[in-house]
Amino acid sequence: MRSATATITTTTTIKRCSWVRVDDPLMLQYHDREWGVPVHDDRRHFEFLVLEGAQAGLSWAIVLKKREGYRRAFQGFDPEKVARFSVRRIEKLVLNAEIIRNRMKIEAAVRNARAFLKIQEEFGSFDSYCWRFVDGRPKLNRWKIMRQIPATSPASDAFSKDLKHRGFSFVGSTVVYAHMQAVGMVNDHLVDCFRYREIRQPAYYFSEPSSSAGLSAGRK
């Protein structure tokens, strides 16, 4: 995998998805190292679920800038710890300027942590549960322009419906499809983007990115 330095210093010669702002280092690094790489780590799945829920109705750039604040506020995205957050802890988070201070979203993250643990108990891991919605392998799309990329899919509809049935909130089909893009359940890089072919390689299917810089997809 190319280094962050190499990625960022060649912005004028590399073809990327058109939603990427090359003058935004966080967004650039997220696109070049994280977005669309298949995730098989439960804590990373939970991180993305928290951040995707936080992004609902907002710009992804805002969430990305607050990612480290979320990491501190949500105990390194450990679902077991978040599931134990008390009402008093939630009140403190509502006052925390390092994250998006939306009470409903914060409370949803705590509820979702509890539902997340129940899925782990039932399926052995959240990863085993969620990848069933794409039959265990990334769905490879072939989009040429941004407007071809959908906001939802039949798989995200089914995934969203099941999550809601299990007690999750802020997991509408649009949010869930963004999550699927982020964790590599679908490859929605444009076909002329250098990452489209890179993350098709088998070496990526069971690997985790070394960077900790970003989140979900078709970001505009």
Q: Which residues are catalytic?
A: 30, 52, 60
The DSSP 8-state label assigned to residue 175 in this structure reads H
Angle of helix 173-182 versus helix 154-165 axis, rounded to 10: 110
What is the torsional sign of CA 59, 65, 66, 67? positive
Residue pointed to by tokens 């912005």: 11
CA 191 – CA 210 distance, rounded (Å) = 24
Burial 142-153 (b: 16+ CB within 10 A, else e): ebeeeeebeebb
Q: Could you tell me the two tokens for 102?
A: 């939306």
